[in-house]
Amino acid sequence: MFVALWLLLSIIYPQTGKTDSMVPLNDSELQSVTGGDAIQLTLRLRNNVGEDNAPDTACGGTPDPCRLGLEFVAREGNWLVLKEFYGSLAIEDVRLEGAYLSNSGSSYRDLSRFEDADGNCLLSPCNPDGLPAIQLDYPFAKGPGEYQDMHTFLNIGRMAVEVDDGATPGFMLDNNPGSALAFRMSDSASANGDMQMRFDGRAFLYGF
């Protein structure tokens, strides 16, 4: 199939306006046209750490400023406080692009997944075959031994319950020196090394 690409030229003069007819692009002009059909993203988040994952020098103080407080419904005034809380997250080169679902299913196909509790179709019709979708994958760093799709480092030095004291909310206090739990996720290759992960395959988002 031959597809002609036309360029519309608009030339505006000081006194009058004129629009030329569409003119086809020649081969050399077509070769200079660039574009893409996907979005590629790298996302990075650092919480209380520098680029080398070293924690802020204030972390570990009294009260420890590197913290996250959680207050739950029906437990107002009682805070689960994550102390010495710091880390980083990097998602590298995730690609999103337009796609269409296959018109054939696998042996695990179950169309009842596209019905609500009363059996009504959530999609029209109750069949996702051929629907437009967003494809998500990690196309790079797929050589042997490469784990570069996601890097993460997380430290929770202490976890304890703190209770409001008058006008001071519990998440700002350090009255409980004990710890119910500690958590650390890292690579043992270095003191604050981040853990590396790899994601093979692809995922499709559809039904929007």
For residue 113, the Cα-to-chain-centroid distance in whole angstroms is 26
pLDDT of residue 137: 94
Q: What's the sign of the alpha-carbon dihedral 184, 185, 188, 192?
A: negative
Above 50 in pLDDT, residue 2? no
Backbone angles phi, psi at 17, to 5 degrees: -110, 145
- pLDDT winner (highest mean) among 8-12, 22-26, 75-79: 75-79
Please tell me the distance from the alpha carbon of residue 76 to that of residue 53, in angstroms, as a whole number. 34
Quote the pLDDT of residue 71: 96
Instruction: Tell me which of 109 and 183 has the higher pLDDT.
Output: 183
pLDDT exceeds 60 at position 9 = no
Q: Let me know how long the chain is.
A: 208
Q: If pLDDT is split at 50, 70 and 90, which confidence band does 123 have?
A: confident
**Would you put residue 53 in left (φ > 0), alpha (ψ -120 to 50) or beta?**
left
The pLDDT of 96-119, averaged and rounded, is: 87
Residues 6 or more apart in contact with residue 112 via CB below 8 angstroms: none
Comparing C-alpha atoms, which of 122, 137, 128, 136 is closest to residue 101? 128
Q: Which residue has the higher pLDDT, 81 or 11?
A: 81
How far are the Cα atoms of 163, 164, 170, 171, 173 from residue 167, in angstroms, in the given order?
Answer: 11, 7, 9, 12, 11
Return all residues near 90 (Cβ < 8 A) that are at least 6 apart: 42, 43, 44, 45, 150, 151, 152, 194
Query: Across residues 27-31, what is the average pLDDT?
Result: 81
Domain boundaries, the chain: 35-206
The fraction of the chain above a pLDDT of 90, given in percent, is 56
20 pLDDT band, cuts 50/70/90, is low
- How confident is the model over 118-139, as a mean pLDDT? 87
Instruction: Work out the mean pLDDT of the chain and round it to a whole number.
Output: 85
pTM over cut 0.75: no
